[in-house]
Amino acid sequence: MKVFYDLSELNITSNPLVTIGTFDGVHLGHKQVIEKMVQMARKKGVECMLITFDPHPREALGLGEISLLSILEEKILLLQETELDFLLVVPFTKEFSQLTALDFIHQYLVQRLAISGVILGYDHKFGNNREGNIGLLRRELSPQGIEVVEISAQAVDSIIVSSTKIRNALSSGNPKEANRLLGYHYSFVGTVVHGAKNGRTLSYPTANLELRSCSKLIPGQGVYAVKCEIAASSYWGMMNIGIRPTLHGIKEVIEVHILDFNSDIYGSEVRVFMHDRIRNERKFNTLNELKEQLSQDEAHLRHYFLRP
């Protein structure tokens, strides 16, 4: 897959088949759209392209905080696992946001890209004020012999797959459900920073993580079973997201106790893969009670990861 950040960089030898959208998380529903497009493109003997936008439209327009399932570099890596020929990342600016759906269709899809067809997921909207839809595409493109296809709502075990459902699952502390809809383990990257070092006094030292991107979704508070990737090595770990009430904390932190690991990794990047939730974060009466709970958490974690 070739990635382009400007239309002037494109070097396409055929009239491509395209799909359009933010594709946040590149979940199972997105992959069905992409697979359908790839199949159609191969049958027609043309190349296929996914058009996405960066930064996220809400972020670019200052419409409030966003919680992304995948920042751009993660999205690119996920899309590279598909059979796409091209990825076009369109810079989403305030000027671009004012482009009408009709202008986007004719200026971008018809004139600049000379597409042979477009495939959209269920109920997709685009253009200024989200006025563009599958009906508008068919009205404008079908008379020109350009194929327009809509993929119906994708489902996994009869549950419609959507980025919103996945965000809700993660925010409520249900990574197993999120992973099922994503088709892979949700992950994020953090840099190891210095903390209060309370974990050492409890015999459970932790790596305190500062997320690389403030736009990345942080799962709900609680204690989790995770897998940590540091450089080229992987380790099991238990992660706490919360304020550490037993230690009178007030600021939410992300900290991971990495099993069977004792190296100085301050300043290093750690990718954390979410597996399951162990329990809620709660306040203990004494540090000894907290230490005993951490021991139980570790035993649960080892059993969880060693089970067949």
Determine the Cα–Cα distance for residues 140 and 108; give it in Å rounded to an integer. 13
Average pLDDT over residues 163-172: 95
pTM: 0.90
pLDDT digits (tens, 9 = 90+) for 8-32: 777 777 799 999 999 999 999 899 8
DSSP 16: -
What pLDDT score does 197 carry? 66
pLDDT digits (tens, 9 = 90+) for 227-278: 999 998 999 999 999 998 888 778 899 999 999 998 889 999 999 999 999 9
Determine the Cα–Cα distance for residues 136 and 101; give it in Å rounded to an integer. 8
Contact by Cβ (8 Å): 28, 111:
no
Phi, psi angle pair for 196, to nearest 5°: -80, -10
CB atoms < 10 A from the CB of 176, how many?
A: 13
Kindly state the tokens that stand for 230.
Answer: 């540091």
Average pLDDT over residues 169-176: 97
- Model confidence at 200: pLDDT above 70: no
Determine the Cα–Cα distance for residues 154 and 243; give it in Å rounded to an integer. 38
Sheet of strand 86-91: strand arrangement = 2-4, 86-91, 48-54, 17-20, 117-120, 147-150
Contact by Cβ (8 Å): 107, 95:
no
- Please give the mean pLDDT across all residues of the chain: 90
Contact by Cβ (8 Å): 152, 184:
no
pLDDT band at 118 (very low <50, low <70, confident <90, very high): very high
- Helix ranges (H only) for the chain are 28-44, 57-60, 72-79, 94-97, 101-103, 134-141, 163-171, 175-182, 198-201, 287-306
Determine the Cα–Cα distance for residues 259 and 256; give it in Å rounded to an integer. 9
Element housing 177 (H / E) = helix 175-182
Contact by Cβ (8 Å): 87, 50:
yes
Kindly state the tokens that stand for 65.
Answer: 């905080």
Determine the Cα–Cα distance for residues 294 and 207; give it in Å rounded to an integer. 15
Kindly state the tokens that stand for 293.
Answer: 């709970």
Task: Set out the domains of the chain in order of their start, with CATH numbers.
Answer: 2-160 (3.40.50.620), 185-306 (2.40.30.30)
What pLDDT score does 130 carry? 79
Antiparallel, parallel or unpaired: β 2-4 and 17-20: unpaired
Give Cα 62 to chain centroid, integer Å. Answer: 20
Cα torsion 188, 63, 34, 106 to 10°: value is -150
CB atoms < 10 A from the CB of 251, how many?
A: 7
What pLDDT score does 155 carry? 61
Which residues have C-beta within 8 Å of that of residue 202, sequence separation ≥ 6?
287, 290, 291, 294
Element housing 33 (H / E) = helix 28-44
What pLDDT score does 20 carry? 92
pLDDT digits (tens, 9 = 90+) for 273-308: 999 999 999 999 989 999 999 999 999 999 988 765
Residue with tokens 């009408």: 100
